[in-house]
């Protein structure tokens, strides 16, 4: 058998981030939205270095013979990553300096640097520095024999004095606005970086010394939380103790101004104890993620996306009992197109309804000011039994999740956490209600988090159902979370790590069998990421058998279309647009009686084998048709969809069909839906 090929996860992810960069270049997007895409690209890349590159560094420490046996090649991969990142950063710089800055100027917004300041502006900045900025600026001294500590992702100037001494001066962008609006001038609005405000004043900070040069730098640190496998305390306690270590983790990237002389770079590298592979040239400024809040002093609506306010759900937004509506038939919500209110109202009604006896919910990321969590506290006050599973290992939300865990537990909730071996990634809610002397279960299963803020950005789907088959099996899942049973017994739900992989394999095998016996066979899947090689192999097998496979994968994708036999029947696209595509939809033709599932799991090994995930079948015909239509709109996008092909060129899909920008088409479809 010909060797099967796979895309490397990290290199494929960089290709996805390249699609984000394309949106910054795409002048079909309004100016300020292009600026935001630059910010998203920058933020993504920072996290990539803190997490993925850090892991590659850890692999490098594994004994060479073991790496060879496992076919791990971290050094080669790191070199390829650096090559791709450098090319992307060059493109980033060109987009920013040659397109964004001139277009801002055309629209009356002048992003000016220190050398552009007029005398009047310099005086204005000096006053601002003395009154508001100076008190937040820190000088990190360099002491012989000691490595100076730079905070993770914080901005500094590396200052060199005429006598050869050095120090670091902080740029407190986490305490002050990164961008400073200066006084308007003849219809133009000058804006400058906080960096340049401090840069102008650096010579005055060191009046007794001669400043020779200074350049901006930023150090990213390992974001992993490390704990002992034999730790005998509570998982939440250990994570809390580990959080403090994240800020002092191993350096993963030192970004420096590319204009910095080599002598200064070597001095900097030695001071911080870094290797050459840790050093990355960048532009004059870093942390472009701050451009998410770049000011628009003109308040020009043409520079932003047209408003698409979330729509009221046609059924669930009515002033009726949601339990009554859901008991009649299943209901589905689509975010960010629909308002998040039905989810909150469902819980609020449960918290106050005398007939409701218990509420069980799994929370992966909890907003700091979560109205949903407040509603759970209200339910406790009203005497409801509340069981909350809070995932303490949700990266970058650990501290917030633990805070809410304490509050809920203090007020009487049963609070559970995962152990070291497995995460709980499912987005599930189960409410039990006494109706005519019987206990009736109501379920909500979603592809996205219980988070109102992200529901305005992330494209997700959530199913409300009182279907006894689904609700009874979901009850078993919660019993697993409560440590009351080892595994759920399910015929309908797909539950990782117990049945998801096996049942997906069987669903693909059915299509393979149908194709081999001459029946029509096809698969349509939308997911965030596709990495698991066993599932990819099964897709290759299906494609070689003649199954038509259509994939929509937002992020990294391990399918390599250099597998010529498989490539004939596999088409892959990716959509990066105004909203973050986050939903997972799995559709199988099944001899004309199609099956469809939605839920929290991608086809990644961790989602199939090392996390508790829940996917639900879609039984209701109306819901099925609605989801199928939405999936079809996404699969036929010819405005913001890119081909994921063997060249990884991120070519936009182009055809003679009527333009279909799927996110706008979905909004229009739901807006017109009675």
161/213 Cα distance (integer angstroms) = 7
- Was 458 annotated as part of a binding site? yes
Within 8 A by CB and 6+ apart from 408, the residues are 373, 376, 377, 380, 386, 388, 390, 415
Residue pair 542/511 in contact by the 8 Å Cβ criterion? yes
Helix (H) or strand (E) holding 522: strand 522-527
Which of these is catalytic: 425, 461, 560, 671?
A: 425
8 A C-beta contact, residue 427 and residue 449 = yes
Check the annotation: does 501 bind a ligand. Answer: no
What are 465's strand-pairing partners? Answer: 443
126 is in an annotated binding site: no
User: Angle at Cα 44 formed by Cα 39 and Cα 49, nearest 5°?
Assistant: 130
Active-site residue 425, yes or no?
yes
| 534 marked as binding residue | no
Element holding 374 (H helix, E strand): helix 371-381
Cα dihedral 299, 305, 306, 307 sign: negative
The DSSP call for residue 659 is P
List of residues 6+ apart from 364 with CB closer than 8 A: 391, 394, 424, 425, 426, 427, 449
Cα distances (angstroms) measured from residue 92 to each of 34, 406, 540:
11, 43, 36
What is the full DSSP assignment across 24-84? HH-TTS-HHHHHHHHHHHHHHHHHHIIIIIHHHHHHHTS-HHHHHHTT--HHHHHHHHHHH
Strand partners, 193: 179
Q: Is 7 annotated as a binding residue?
A: no
Q: Is 221 annotated as a binding residue?
A: no
Residues annotated within a binding site for Mg(2+): 365, 395
- Which residues are annotated as part of the binding site? 44, 365, 395, 458, 554, 582
Give the residue numbers of the binding site for ATP: 44, 458, 554, 582
Q: Which residues does the annotation mark as catalytic?
A: 425
């Amino acid at each position: 058998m010909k060797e099967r090929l796979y895309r490397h996860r990290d290199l494929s992810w960089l290709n996805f981030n390249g699609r984000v960069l394309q949106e910054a270049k795409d002048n079909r997007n309004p100016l300020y939205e292009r600026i935001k895409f630059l910010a998203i690209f920058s933020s993504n890349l920072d996290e990539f270095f803190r997490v993925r590159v850090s892991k590659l560094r850890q692999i490098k420490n594994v004994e060479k013979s073991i790496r060879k046996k496992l076919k791990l090649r971290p050094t080669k991969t790191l070199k390829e990553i650096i090559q791709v990142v450098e090319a992307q950063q060059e493109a980033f710089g060109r987009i920013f300096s040659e397109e964004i800055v001139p277009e801002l100027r055309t629209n009356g917004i002048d992003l000016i640097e220190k050398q552009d300041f007029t005398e009047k502006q310099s005086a204005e900045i000096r006053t601002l520095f003395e009154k508001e900025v100076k008190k937040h600026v820190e000088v990190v001294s360099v002491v012989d024999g000691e490595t100076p500590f730079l905070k993770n992702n914080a901005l500094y100037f590396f200052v060199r004095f005429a006598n050869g001494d050095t120090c670091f001066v902080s740029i407190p962008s986490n305490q002050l606005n990164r961008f400073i609006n200066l006084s308007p001038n003849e219809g133009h609005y000058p804006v400058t970086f906080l960096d340049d405000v401090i840069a102008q004043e650096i010579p005055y900070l060191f009046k007794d010394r001669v400043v020779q040069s200074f350049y901006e730098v930023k150090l990213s640190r390992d974001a992993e939380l490390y704990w002992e496998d034999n730790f005998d305390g509570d998982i939440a306690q250990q994570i809390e103790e580990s959080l403090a270590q994240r800020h002092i983790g191993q350096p993963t990237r030192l970004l420096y101004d590319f204009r910095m002389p080599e002598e200064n770079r070597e001095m900097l590298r030695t001071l911080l104890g870094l290797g050459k592979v840790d050093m990355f040239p960048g532009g004059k400024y870093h942390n472009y993620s701050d451009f998410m809040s770049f000011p628009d002093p003109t308040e020009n609506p043409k520079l932003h996306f047209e408003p698409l306010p979330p729509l009221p759900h046609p059924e669930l937004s009515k002033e009726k009992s949601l339990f009554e509506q859901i008991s009649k038939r299943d209901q589905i919500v689509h975010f960010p197109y629909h308002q998040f209110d039905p989810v909150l109202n469902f819980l609020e009604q449960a918290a106050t309804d005398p007939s409701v006896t218990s509420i069980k919910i799994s929370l992966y990321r909890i907003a700091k000011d979560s109205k949903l969590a407040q509603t759970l506290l209200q339910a406790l006050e009203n005497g409801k039994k509340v069981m909350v599973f809070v995932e303490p290992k949700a990266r970058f939300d650990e501290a917030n999740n633990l805070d809410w865990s304490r509050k809920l537990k203090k007020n009487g909730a049963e609070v559970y956490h995962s152990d070291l071996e497995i995460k709980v990634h499912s987005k599930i809610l189960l409410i039990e209600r006494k109706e005519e002397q019987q206990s009736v279960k109501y379920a909500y299963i979603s592809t996205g988090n219980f988070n109102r803020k992200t529901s305005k950005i992330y494209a997700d789907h959530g199913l409300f159902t009182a279907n006894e088959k689904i609700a009874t099996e979901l009850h078993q899942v919660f019993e697993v979370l409560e440590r009351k049973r080892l595994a759920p017994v399910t015929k309908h739900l797909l539950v990782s790590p117990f049945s998801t992989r096996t049942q997906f394999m069987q669903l693909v095998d059915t299509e393979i069998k149908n194709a081999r016996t001459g029946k029509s066979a096809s698969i349509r899947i939308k997911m965030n990421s596709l990495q698991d090689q066993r599932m990819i192999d099964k897709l290759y097998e299906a494609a070689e058998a003649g199954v038509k496979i259509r994939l929509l994968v937002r992020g990294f994708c391990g399918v390599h279309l250099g597998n010529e036999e498989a490539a004939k029947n596999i088409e892959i696209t990716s959509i990066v647009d105004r909203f973050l595509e986050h939903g997972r939809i799995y559709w199988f033709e099944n001899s004309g009686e199609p099956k469809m599932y939605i839920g929290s799991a991608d086809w990644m090994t961790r989602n199939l084998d090392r996390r508790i995930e829940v996917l639900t079948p879609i039984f209701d015909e109306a819901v099925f048709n609605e989801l199928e239509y939405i999936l079809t709109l996404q699969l036929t996008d010819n405005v913001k969809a890119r081909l994921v092909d063997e060249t990884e060129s991120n070519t936009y899909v182009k055809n003679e069909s009527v333009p279909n920008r799927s996110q706008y088409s979905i909004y229009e479809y739901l807006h017109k839906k009675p």
